[in-house]
Amino acid sequence: MAVQTSEERKIILDEMYRAFSIASEGAYAYVCDLKTDLSRWSREAVAYFDMPGEYMLHVNAIWMDRIHPEDRSEFRDSMESIFTGVGVTHDLQYRVKNGDGLYVICTCRGIVLRDPEGNPNYFGGVIRNHGSQSHIDPVTGLHNQYGFFEDIRSYSHRKQPCNVLLLGISRFSEINNVYGYATGNRVLQTLARHLEQTVGEDGRVYRMDGAKFAVVSSTLTEEMYRKRYRERKAALMSGFDVDGNRYCLVVNGGMLSVDCYDVGDEAIYACLNYAYDESKDRQQGELVVFHNTVNRESRKTLEIVHVIRDCIVDNCRGFYLCYQPIMDAETEKLSGMEALIRWKNEKYGEVPPNDFIPIVEKDMLFPKLGDWILRQAMTDGKKFLTQYPNFVMNVNLSYAQLEKADFVHTVLTILEETGFPPENLCLEITERCRLLDLEMLRNIIAQLRERGVKFALDDFGTGYSSISILKELPVDVVKIDREFVKDIEQDQHSMATVEHISGLASVYGSHVCAEGIESSAMRDHLRRFSVNSLQGYYYSKPIPFDHFMKLNIS
């Protein structure tokens, strides 16, 4: 058998490298000529780990220098086994230092290829970088939300302003249900390529949760975003071609300009989600820019959300509860109270809940705040039981709490820890809970009602699906929104609406509570319409618990 020259072996090395690259599926491919000790590695690995070049002699020593000292002995033993011809395969996980000096976890797999005489000839395989791969979405190949957060932090670290877009498809689950998940994935993959082509070199596209995508750019202006969003929205609505089939996609979009650097990435994302939900729920998919949705002081709002997040982590520092009495409509005796969250800060003072709750609700930390509210309300309420043993404590719930898998367990645990009777607790849900799976919500209510907990449907009548929710969910109380009560004294339509709601509630066996009572005349009018309880400033504004204990209402 003729001896191969170094050049001939290099040609074989390149051919083998191409074969391993095809099979690498996003990992770093490598091939080593065991006779010449020349290796070829992927360019991505060379760049990421700051290696000398794509072709390297004696790469074993070069790579060993980057492996964490605690992991070197196991790597050395495995490679010695390979090079001496004893070992055939290599399968190790270890830590490697990248070009930034940080260690990442890698899994290295390889196999020895022998010559016709059975001697070790080539060694090839792949290195999977878990530090990098965890940032890649497996369906679309885009950077995922972990990569998104990392890049936002990078912009902040460099103090570089950027504009961020969150775009999502409405009712995407219908595509999965009708055509199957394989087709749904192809739609996402095609849309990902479509968005990348639209953005080009002006920014980076990310696959977020579900059917949402984000775009981060330091060059695209707000007006440019608006223009491209309008064009893409119209194009997707008119028909989106995927594998020869056309799908009409309805999209929503929220945008946020980031030019302040002392806020966290999670606070930015919460504000971005708020703008996105405004687009989806109230603006028929038109692009909503965050500073146009809350107030003109978007920078201040971002800062406040950032501080609030830190306060939630720090045992809900600065938060406290106020309570508003709920009165029996017939006797005007106290029948319950509603717990309402408040937040005060030395720098920002007393911040109205409407300025932060709608945004913080989008944050993954909100359930932690919700748990604190439940625990604090029950702790305070237990002190009140000695004076009013039959009163009911009302606590508002967010859909972010209800969608947690352990919500029922959390409520039962807090009831047990505080010793608060479940029959004295009423959890208020809003029409916004239509966003949740109705069967899941029905199961939650059934499990807690079985233990004695009551449920109220708050702000009844303000949303288009309130009646259908009342039909589907077994609630104990329907709370009529103040919008239907404020003109009750002179407006016939308001009177008819309240009468209709009261009659509807009675059909489903629910009591009725009217909010927004501000005068004795309003009270007297509402008593005519089978309203069971009353709540409003006529009796008391929301006040701290120690003040409530001294309130002269009976």
Give all domains of the chain, ordered by start, each with its CATH number. 6-133 (3.30.450.20), 145-293 (3.30.70.270), 315-549 (3.20.20.450)
- Give pLDDT, residue 33: 92
The structure tokens 């072996």 sit at: 9
| DSSP for 352-387, written as a single string | -HHHHHHHHTTSTTHHHHHHHHHHHHHHHHHHHTTT
3-state secondary structure of 10: helix
CB atoms within 10 A of CB 264: 18
Say if strands 533-534 and 319-328 run parallel, antiparallel, or are unpaired.
Answer: antiparallel
- Spatial distance between the Cα atoms of 279 and 256, rounded to a whole number of angstroms: 13
Q: pLDDT per residue over 312-332, tens digit each?
A: 878 899 999 999 999 999 999
Q: Which helix (H) or strand (E) holds 310?
A: helix 298-313
Q: What is the dihedral of CA 407, 409, 411, 417, to 10 degrees?
A: -150
Residues in the chain: 554
| DSSP for 418-430, written as a single string | HT--GGGEEEEE-
CB atoms within 10 A of CB 58: 10
> Taking Cα atoms as reference points, which of 515, 553, 541, 546 lies closest to residue 320?
546
- Give pLDDT, residue 393: 97
E strands, 153-309, are 162-169, 204-207, 212-217, 240-242, 245-247, 251-258, 288-289
- Give pLDDT, residue 423: 96
Q: Check if the beta carbon of residue 294 is closer than 8 Å to that of residue 355.
A: yes
> Taking Cα atoms as reference points, which of 164, 186, 156 lies closest to residue 263?
156
- Spatial distance between the Cα atoms of 337 and 393, rounded to a whole number of angstroms: 5
- Give pLDDT, residue 294: 40
Q: Check if the beta carbon of residue 10 is closer than 8 Å to that of residue 38.
A: yes
State the DSSP code for 84.
Answer: T
CB atoms within 10 A of CB 136: 17
| 407, 479, 511 from 475: Cα distances, Å | 18, 11, 9
3-state secondary structure of 120: strand
- Give pLDDT, residue 293: 46
Q: Check if the beta carbon of residue 262 is closer than 8 Å to that of residue 303.
A: yes
The residues, any chain, with a CB within 8 Å of residue 400's CB and separated by 6 or more, are 361, 362, 363, 366, 367, 370
- Give pLDDT, residue 25: 62
Backbone angles phi, psi at 263, to 5 degrees: -120, 150
Q: pLDDT per residue over 343-389, tens digit each?
A: 998 888 888 888 778 777 777 778 889 999 999 999 999 998 888 89
Q: Check if the beta carbon of residue 142 is closer than 8 Å to that of residue 207.
A: yes
3-state secondary structure of 223: helix
Q: Check if the beta carbon of residue 377 is closer than 8 Å to that of residue 336.
A: no
- pTM assigned to the model: 0.59
Measure CA of the first residue to CA of the last residue in the chain; give whole Å: 106
- Spatial distance between the Cα atoms of 103 and 95, rounded to a whole number of angstroms: 6
Q: Which amino acid is present at 177? A: N
Low-confidence ranges of the chain (pLDDT < 70): 1-2, 23-26, 87-88, 131-134, 260-263, 291-299, 302, 431-435, 461-466, 553-554
Say if strands 425-429 and 454-460 run parallel, antiparallel, or are unpaired.
Answer: parallel
